[in-house]
Structure 1
Amino acid sequence: MSLKYAAIRASFEALWLARLPSLIRLLSKSRGVIFTLHRVLPEPPADFSPNAILQVRPDFLNYVIERVRALGIDVVDLDEALRRLAEPRRGRSFIVLTFDDAYRDNLQYALPILRQHEAPFTLYVPTAFVDGTGQLWWQAIEDIIARQEAVAFTENGDTEYVDTSTTALKKDAFNRLYWQLRKLPEPQRLELLETFCAAYGYDLGKQCRELIMDWQELRLFAGDPLCTIGAHTVHHYELAKLPADQARNEMAQSVSVIEAQFGIRPAHFSYPLGGPLSCGPREFELARDLGFRTAVTTRPGGLYPLHLETPTALPRVSLNGYFQQRRYVDVFASGGLFTQLGRVMG
């Protein structure tokens, strides 16, 4: 775990021990929290699993729903969240459950829990992923580095062989390659990723088809009254890196594909990656122009009535795989607390 996450964990412990979350919920004007989830898996991650941050256990998801309701917090969908923001005296405080990327494990492990609790949720779908042609590059580089004793990195035309024989060295290599890819324009990122995967015989298409639901599986979600299907672009590109026309097309085309598949036109959107490097005022305006009722980032914070003025730039709180202790759920459910901790968590 990095120093950043160690510091956050220490903050969680201190807040919980001081019983501050309940006090903040009482005093804060925050009405609710949108939770970000990705994968739901029962197996513990391996020692080298930098993407374990994106996965929670089924029992933890189950406890989150039970605990927030025990705290007097409702689980609502995005449209009800907007209504409660518009009418401050309407209903109790709330959480919204959102899942990004349409991972197949959501069908196997998350959906039964959500149905058991009759908990509404939103599933944001990147359509190329469901077509089986997406590139889950963050998982690909983890998988390659995990099985290699050394890897070759190419940067500015120079090739360097990097030792990955220990877990610590693998983590260093992953972080280096991850941020190299994040900083590149999308065409160069795709080129470097494909070169790297080809060098180690890694099939990106096969990986996508194994991890992500196909359209037939996704129909089980689209037909469930608890589920709101949201758009998440076509290719899961970082929109801020794209020309405006291409970014708009990524957003609009994903809506059209989902509508063609299910007869449902998504009114809610999630920006891929969702941080300041990935989306900003231009993307927020594009989402407004395309008619989305909401669009969510990954910038932490609670929801307040003032967010009705910027519904295409909503904050979310990640149910982080590094913080699955039950005592932390009270912290996660405190929107006002995450507004204050936003800089730490960002």
Structure 2
Amino acid sequence: MEVRKIKKVIKRAGAFAYSTFNKKSGFEKHIPILYYHSIGKSLNREGLRVDTDEFEKQIKYLVENYIVVHLDEIANLVKSSKNAHKYAAVTFDDGYKDNFDVAYPILKKYNCPATIFIASGFVKKEVEFTEGGEKLIPLELNDIKSMNDDLVRFEAHTHTHISLNEITLDEVTYELERSVKEIEQMCGRKPTHFAYPNGAINKDILKRVEDVGFKSAYATFMSTEVKCEDLFCIPRVMIDMDDTLKDAVCKIEGAYNYLGKMQKGKTDL
């Protein structure tokens, strides 16, 4: 059995145990924020490309069971005392071509709002992403203009997609400000939400993100449990190629939150 699949079995066992003893009604706020990368039929070896049919099933489940909203509303929910147990969001990281070609028609079919966190240098073809020797294809400017409506919004994911803990704080500020400038030029709208590339985050980076003027920021901690103090490290639920609808539903309903607690515990947050 592949190592990835062995890890999947272990995580499923942990999710079953966690969900047996923890109910989402006990969470301060239960807000599933799904995040994807690539959608399509050709599955890559890293598990980041979700099958088209599975993606549609997941979106259908989400819109039938939750009120799917944009990130402005999520930020307001995190800050407020409002019961948030029926709200959710859909996000994509990086800005791949198939987000337009494959995911967008499904989002339109179900009238499901979504956010694409763009690595602006990737979309402008100033940096390349490769996978297994294959050059990955970014969104075209025309794709962005076609999707730039009430359904899909574009937010920041740095310019070069570098892990922010690998550079100086001044360089962090440059990456943030450059991405804001580039995305505003592409979309005619200033991005106000941010996602940390590779989930790289610490207190100093978080403070820089806040100082640049973002309203909220999104981490990669696997959890649906959100607290008021999490505004600049809001957890998300990653959906990968091995997730059946049952797996995705378990993640959406909070069964994998134990992973988020472990992941956040390894940081200084």
Which bracket does the TM-score occupy, shorter chain normalised? Answer: 0.7 to 0.9
The answer on 1:301 being equivalent to 2:220 is no
Q: Which residue of 2 aligns with 1:273?
A: 198
Q: 1:93 aligns with which of 86, 111, 123?
A: 86
What's the TM-score, normalizing by structure 2?
A: 0.87
Normalized per residue, the structure richer in helix is 1
Question: Hey, what does 1:319 align to over in structure 2?
Answer: 239
RMSD between aligned alpha carbons? Answer: 2.6
Whole-Å Cα distance in 2 between the matches of residues 14 and 238 of structure 1?
A: 28
* Larger mean Cα displacement after TM superposition, 116-125 or 25-34: 25-34
Counterparts of 1:10 and 1:263, CA distance in 2? 45
Q: Would the aligned equivalents of 2:15 and 2:256 in 1 still touch at CA under 8 Å?
A: no
Q: Aligned with 1:302: secondary structure? A: coil
Unaligned segments of structure 1, at least 5 residues: 145-206
Residue 268 of structure 1 deviates from its aligned partner by: 0.5
Partner of residue 219 from structure 1, selected from 145, 149, 152: 145
Out of 228, 244, 247, the position equivalent to 2:169 is 244
13 and 240 in structure 1: CA distance in 2 versus 1, 3 angstrom threshold: closer
Matches within 5 A, 1:146-157: none
The CA distance in 1 between the partners of 2:257 and 2:72, in whole Å, is: 22
Matching of residue 143 in structure 1 with residue 68 in structure 2:
no
For residues 140-196 of structure 1, what are the alpha-carbon distances to aligned partners after superposition, in whole Å with 9 as ceiling and x for unaligned? xx127xxxxxxxxxxxxxxxxxxxxxxxxxxxxxxxxxxxxxxxxxxxxxxxxxxxx
Does the aligned pair in 2 maintain the 1:252–1:290 contact within 8 Å?
A: yes
Q: How does 1:55-204 map to 2 (within 5 A)?
A: 55-70=49-64, 72-90=65-83, 92-137=85-130, 139=131, 142-143=132-133
Q: CA deviation at 1:31?
A: 2.0
Within 1, Cα distance between the matches of 2:261 and 2:233? 16
- Greater C-alpha Rg: 1
Question: 1:343 Cα shift?
Answer: 5.5
Taking the TM superposition and a 5 Å limit, the aligned residue runs for 1:285-296 are 285-296=207-218
Distance 1:66 1:21, change over 3 A: farther
Q: Give the equivalent residue in structure 2 for 1:38.
A: 37
Q: Name the CA shift for 1:242/1:15 in 2 (closer, same or farther; >3 Å).
A: closer
What letter is aligned with 2:142?
Answer: Q
Q: Take 2:73 and 2:21, find their aligned partners in 1: how far apart are those partners?
A: 23
Structure 1 distance, partners of 2:239, 2:197, is: 17
Whether contact under 8 Å (1:8, 1:345) holds in the other structure is no
1:23-50 deviations in Å (ceiling 9; x for gaps): 723443332121110000023x3xxx43
CA drift of 1:289 comes to: 0.1
| Cα separation, partners in 2 of 1:68 and 1:88, compared to 1, 3 Å | farther
Q: TM-score, normalised by structure 1?
A: 0.69
Q: 1:314 & 1:233 partners in 2: Cα distance?
A: 17
